[in-house]
Amino acid sequence: MRFTRHIPLNGSYNIRDLGGYPTATGPTAWRRILRADSLHRLDDQAMQALHEMGCDTVIDLRRAEETTAQPNPFATAMPQVQYHNISLFEGLDPLITVDTDSADLLLDIYRLALTERGAEFATILRIIAQAEGAVLFQCTAGKDRTGMIAALLLLLAGATRDTVIADYALTGDYAPAMFAALHAEVQAAGETFDLSSPLLLCNPATMEALLHDLHDQHGGAEAYLLRHGLTETELAALRARLSDIAEQKGAA
């Protein structure tokens, strides 16, 4: 079987597989870990398709106000799929001075998340390590919170920094349609959505700078996660989840 990185399902824009990326020990495993944008538009058929792919765990990284405004259907509609809501960027907004002259506001947020939300990063990866079937984790655009979790996972699997950066930047291929849909939804709710905001970017240089910071300031992905509570056994489980290359045929 040949797999595709992007998984097109009705109601989604940015569901992607972390499989098929090269590492020193072989490609990462397909259909074991998925990253995604908001799932609130999924219909029953799309939800069933994910479950039939083996997905039995969904981790929602959004804040309570986001999950209230755009509820995740897996929270209530499919009990055979475990649903977790862990707000990864909770409480960061008051700590950030929104400076329009910032060289890279997203990078500022990512760095702050590493500093302030280590326990949450560890909790999320622990859930992934302990899951039986495939895991899908998601936020609103599948770019920032999702992108940081994906980066840690790929680094643990032995992917290069260039691979991690390319995976982050890939959201740009799906951003126009996704942000157009978000813009329409927000406007319909009587709110504003700035399509020119720098917060919508997925510049490769942003992830490159974050990876340097993760290494230089935190000792790398493994040291960072161990410091915040993951065990060596859990790290090994994450690597095994991503390095099982049986039946891997490469990306289409």
Q: Count other Cβ atoms within 10 Å, centred on residue 100.
A: 6
Query: Cα–Cα distance between 76 and 68 in angstroms, integer?
Result: 13
Pairing mode, strands 134-138 and 33-36:
parallel
Q: How far apart are CA 144 and CA 36, in angstroms?
A: 11
Chain centroid to CA 152:
10
With 0-12 / 13-18 / 19 or more C-beta atoms within 10 angstroms meaning exposed / middle / buried, residue 249 is: exposed
Longest Cα separation, the chain? 51
What is the CB neighbour count within 10 angstroms for residue 75?
Answer: 15
The rounded distance, in Å, linking the Cα atoms of 235 and 220 is 13
Rounded to whole angstroms, how far apart are CA atoms 210 and 56? 31
Residues in a beta bridge with 60: 85, 138
Cβ–Cβ under 8 Å, residues 63 and 86: no
**Residue of 18, 50, 92, 139 marked active site:** 139
Alpha-carbon span 224 to 202, nearest angstrom? 23
Cβ pair 142, 18 in contact under 8 A = no
Structure token pair of residue 164: 């991690």
Active-site annotation holds for 55: no
Kindly list the catalytic residues.
139
